[in-house]
Homo-oligomer: A and B are copies of this chain.
Amino acid sequence: MSRDDAHEKRSRKGAMQPTLTDVAREAGVAPITVSRYFNDPEALRDATRLKVEAAVNQVGYVRNMIAGSLASATTRVIPVIVPSLANVVFIEVIRGLQQRLEAAGYQLLLGKTDYDLDREAQLVRTFLGWSASGLIIAGLRHSDETRQLLENWNQPVVEIMEYGDGLDMNVGLDHRAAGHAMATHLLNRGYRHIHYAGAELERDYRAGERFEGHRQALEAAGLPAPLLDLPSRQQMDSGAEALMHIRTHSPTCDAIHFANDDMACGALLAAMRDGIRIPEDIAIAGFNGLPIGRHMTPRLTTIVSPRELIGQRAAEQLLRRIRGEPLGELSINVGFTLHEGESA
């Protein structure tokens, strides 16, 4: 693939993409004018703009974002760091982010920690090297290294999923309150032997915080708060397993508060299969408000977390800060809603 035209003094690479300068030469203007054509078209006279436009098409120019970023010391890139892509919850948050950020002309750089704080720090370090305009990171718990890197970085950071005190801005919900709310609901419905069932609560510490709220509610009612923390597997399997385990070992149990809807639905489907009546034999509650819960019979009682909204709000906060607009609050509590089905 040889070059037959314009480019003579190309040194380091062979066949090169045309550059801004090529376009400028073709259009008979200065390179900076072509630059303006892309970054602030309004600033050009119509005639000039047309000339440049023609030249751009003529030479088949593709902008080199890298060079622009180096010169301007900013990038229209927002790194997003989440613990996992296996969890729908993060996917939906990413969707909300994507939607708002892409509309504003920002690209999304994706990083996954696998719940490893060292990996998280490493990702942060890498991403800071991208001269990003800001950064989105899941959770309020980070290693000291991560915290320090982010604090020394003078760009906006939004921590998502949880509500509380963070590094900079944050958008999320109060998981303790959510756990408390569901436990209270179960108590109000008359259940007295309520178990909490999760999977790897050490890792999924937000589910652990929901358990804390749950426990507080039960203890306030003078009741114990037994916890079943299973090792990780496919979530629905864990739910089914938890149901069996608790029915066998704690026959008096009258309600299970699951850490999430996947587990709760796994239990619900297992109950259907085995003829266990829900909620007569045992009540079941979840967390997240996934669509599937509404398709169950009985419908799943759960707490709806506004996941996509978290993403949208986080993006909005970040953009506002990037643009130097006022933001109202640094911390946004998106809240949650208890959706009552017939399962509890």
Residues of A within 8 A of B (CB): 1, 12-13, 15, 60, 62-67, 69-70, 73, 75, 77, 85-86, 88, 91, 94-95, 98, 102, 107-112, 125-126, 128-131, 149, 152, 154, 234, 236-237, 240, 265-266, 269-270, 272-273, 291-292, 295-297
| Inter-chain contact B65/A130, CB cutoff 8 Å | yes
Which of chain B's residues have a CB closer than 8 A to the CB of A128?
62
User: Given the known A-B contacts A62-B125, A98-B110, are A13 and B292 also in contact in the complex, defined by CB atoms under 8 Å?
Assistant: no
A294 and chain B: residue at smallest CB distance: B236
Asked whether B131 lies within 8 Å of A66 as measured between CB atoms, the reply is yes
A130 to B91, Cβ gap below 8 A? no
Taking a contact as CB atoms under 8 Å apart, the answer to whether A109 and B112 are in contact is: no
What is the oligomeric copy number?
2
Question: A315 vs B108: C-alpha distance in the bound complex, in angstroms?
Answer: 19
Known A108-B110, A292-B236, A297-B269; contact A129-B12, beta-carbon cutoff 8 A: no
CA distance A126 to B272 in the complex (A): 51
The interface residues of chain B lying within 8 Å CB-to-CB of A64 are 129, 131
Which 9 A/B pairs are nearest by Cβ-Cβ distance?
A65-B129, A269-B295, A273-B297, A63-B129, A85-B95, A66-B69, A108-B110, A66-B70, A70-B70
Q: Is the CB–CB distance between A270 and B292 below 8 Å?
A: no
With both chains docked as a complex, state the minimum distance between the C-beta of A62 and any C-beta of chain B, in angstroms.
Answer: 5
Of chain B, the residue at the smallest CB distance from A79 is: B107
Q: Are B112 and A98 in contact (CB under 8 A)?
A: yes
Taking A85-B94, A272-B272 as known contacts, 15 extra A-B pairs with beta carbons closer than 8 A to each other, sorted by chain A number, are A1-B154, A13-B73, A60-B152, A62-B128, A66-B69, A66-B70, A70-B70, A107-B109, A236-B292, A236-B295, A237-B291, A265-B295, A266-B295, A269-B295, A270-B295
B15, B107, B108: which contacts A154 (Cβ < 8 A)?
B15
